[in-house]
Structure 1
Amino acid sequence: MSVGKASEAVLVLDRAAIAAVILGVTAFSVSQGLTYPLISLIMAHRGVTDSVIGLNAGVFSLGLAVSTLAIGPLTARLAGDKIIIVGLAGCSLCLLVFGITDSLVVWFLARFVLGICVNLVFMLSEAWLNAACPDHLRGRISGLYGAGMCAGFAAGPLAIPFFGSDSSFPFAILAVYLAIVAFATAILSRRARTRPQPSPPGALVKFVRSAPALVVMVFAFGFADIAAISVMPVYFVKTGHSEAFAAIAVTMVALPTALAQPLVGLLLDRLPRHGVAIACGLVAGATFLIIPFLQSEAAILAVFALMGAAEFALYTCALTLLGAHYTGGLLVAGSAVFGLSYAIGSAGGSTATASAMDIFSSAGAPITAGLVLFVLVALMLRLQAIR
């Protein structure tokens, strides 16, 4: 099935499918939120060099790319809901491997497989969410999905202070948690009326050509997201704030963002959806530009929280628009393209803003991020007008 109103495909909310999807993506984001800092900390404690730690993270990204390119053949051979279950179980096994061995070679292999499994869960969950949702509820359900993802990312790192970073216990706890989620997903999928459809050959290219504005929207989200959580903490320290303040600022991105997404979803169901996306992009760009002119730490945190809510809302908007205009296998293709677009955008965001800080001044980071977001919003408007 190609372009068309998704409400034609489903008229009643598939509650079992939605529950499975939100449960799965929350588990995915908790595991990501924990493993990103935890693996780096453990490797650093063991004397592994920074370059090898970075290479290990790069292997994870390679797994993301491989799974994206393999999504078509995989969905042609196995039902989408079963791939999600296999992906969750694979994540659980990979985390168990991290907990039972110290071999660096095995850790690299496990990180690569973890990237594959994580991305399969992510891509097919997005597709299943839209396949199971009637259009009049799409924004609100996408908002709940985004809230679960944000909450998971925020909750993951909290396990480190409780369980420490010098033992295998956090990996074991998380592996058990993901195994339980995989089991629950299997039960819920038996009650679901919908399934993610196979991605047809050439669907990735077809989707990019059909929806360039959505691709730019997710690129903008990736650019802003990584700039906010990776580069802006460095900016805060360089401008005289404490490391504790920089850490609090990152937390202020995550929690309010999770709380805001259901409201964004409600707006998407009540207002023109492209208009909501444009407004969110403009707000995100403006908050980056305002930061260098603020002196009060309370004001900085408030603006930073608004920044996080606005930039993540771009993803919620893109997800809602994906389901509103595409059905069947193009939902899977669109989710895969979103993953690639986010990866490219995040790479561009970290590189451009960090380089601007080195070349110009500390303020170069937020100013560059804000200006780039305005350019991307203008590009989204142009592409939508052409379409």
Structure 2
Amino acid sequence: MRWGTYFAVVAAVVSIGLALGVTLPLVSLRLESWGYGSFAIGVMAATPAVGVLLGASVTGRLAGRFGTTRLMQGCLLSAALSVVLLALVQSYPVWVLLRLMIGVALTMVFILGESWINQLAIDAWRGRLVALYGTGYALSQLSGPLLLGAIGTAGDQGFWLGTCLLIGGALLLLGRSGAPRVDADSASGRGLLGFCQRLPAIAWAVMLFAAFESMVLTLLPIYGLRQGFSEEHALLIVSVVVIGDALLQLPLGFLADRLSRLHLFAGCGVVLMLSSLAIPLLLHGPAIWLVLVLFGASAGGLFTLALILIGERYRDDQLVRANAHVSQLWGLGCLLGPLLTGAASQWVTGHALPLLLAFGAAVFIMLVWRWPPTAVPAAA
């Protein structure tokens, strides 16, 4: 196994998490300070999801033409340029366009990076290696809000830090090899409906975690502010959720190499549903911190185990194609989650964020019970 390449690819993708962890809350807080409502902020949060759908549809063809490494580097540099423009041109319509461009570019990095990681991993270590990637990504998101809290939200330092991180991620991939062999046609994003029909629980888990992640970084700080917390306290709530995601992914990966991955998958859904329901009830009490840790850990566990289950089924073109479907589903989750939550928060209930996630977790539990992802499909 190419350990140096594995850690370089993980670090490159982690640089994205840190950059997004700094810039996404900053965008939402800046819009809040400009007087925009929950729905407008939700629209901004959902905009990259359209980019995800566009990026997932062209990744295979572009990787077949330019090569995995060069395409990933180009996308990281394009995203860095977009973040620079967020700092220089502070206009809502322009920001929507830039967030769209960021979504396209970083989607291609995620598809190819996660395929590369799963391709390198041996099955006996797959749970731990995928979980280590998940832990690193979650820690990067944790560090983002903490860094933003340290440097402040009044200026544009967060945007400049995000730019440097994305450029650094591109440099880490210089000279790396061992990526999945990609054919431009067979690795396209076609066939999403068939993928969902074969693996409905995995498909829903990806959408649910995508909605969770986009809402945690963009709407959870606003949720905290509107429940009476200070800006620093609201960012701390986000950080604690991501701590839960980060701290428990490696133990889950360790267990996934020794116990039933399906049982762990279902268990994460149960914990996510219960912790989501507990947030409105315990928000202002000391028990909320444990609830937030479990909230983040269970949501992150859904995505980690979904990647593990995909990685044990597919290789090369089929693996890239499966991850393209994952990104398409991610885009749908990122699109629908913030839009529905922003609208419900403004017009139905201030606790829409945890309640909608609880509903999504209940749907997942039903899917994994009725159609468990046990049979190995013939194609992605």
Q: TM-score interval w.r.t. the shorter chain?
A: 0.7 to 0.9
Deviations 1:3-38 (A, max 9, x none): xxxxxxxxxx22133112211111111111122133
Q: TM-score of the superposition, structure 2-length normalised? A: 0.83
Aligned partners of 2:349 and 2:256: how far apart in 1?
38
Aligned to 1:211: 199
- 1:192-231 aligned within 5 A: 192-195=177-180, 197-198=182-183, 200=186, 201=188, 202-225=190-213
- Tell me, yes or no, if structure 1 residue 261 matches structure 2 residue 254: no
Structure 2 residues without counterparts, runs of 5 or longer = 376-380
Q: Computing the radius of gyration over CA atoms, which structure comes out larger, 1 or 2?
A: 1
| CA drift at 1:196 | 5.3
- CA-atom RMSD in angstroms: 3.3
> Alpha carbons of 1:81 and 1:209: their partners in 2 closer, same or farther (altered >3 Å)?
farther
> Alpha carbons of 1:62 and 1:48: their partners in 2 closer, same or farther (altered >3 Å)?
farther
| CA drift at 1:143 | 0.8
Aligned partners of 1:164 and 1:370: how far apart in 2?
32
Aligned to 2:332: 344
- 1:150-161 aligned within 5 A: 150-161=138-149
- Tell me, yes or no, if structure 1 residue 128 matches structure 2 residue 116: yes
3-state SS of 1:384 partner: coil
Aligned partners of 1:138 and 1:385: how far apart in 2?
17
Aligned to 1:382: 370
Give identity over the alignment, percent: 27
- 1:72–1:198 Cα contact (<8 Å) kept: yes
- Tell me, yes or no, if structure 1 residue 66 matches structure 2 residue 54: yes
Aligned to 1:119: 107
The match for 1:252 among 240, 251, 255 is 240
| Residue identity matched to 1:33 | G
The match for 2:65 among 69, 74, 77 is 77
Deviations 1:39-98 (A, max 9, x none): 4455676x5866876665554333222111112321231222221111112222323344
- Tell me, yes or no, if structure 1 residue 279 matches structure 2 residue 267: yes
3-state SS of 2:56 partner: helix
Deviates more, 1:108-117 or 1:280-289: 108-117
| CA drift at 1:264 | 1.0
Aligned to 2:18: 30
| CA drift at 1:109 | 4.5
Aligned partners of 2:328 and 2:150: how far apart in 1?
34
Aligned partners of 1:41 and 1:363: how far apart in 2?
19
The match for 1:300 among 288, 294, 298 is 288
> Alpha carbons of 1:23 and 1:346: their partners in 2 closer, same or farther (altered >3 Å)?
same
> Alpha carbons of 1:252 and 1:178: their partners in 2 closer, same or farther (altered >3 Å)?
same
Structure 1 residues without counterparts, runs of 5 or longer = 1-12
The alignment of Structure 1 onto Structure 2 pairs a total of residues equal to 371
| CA drift at 1:215 | 0.5
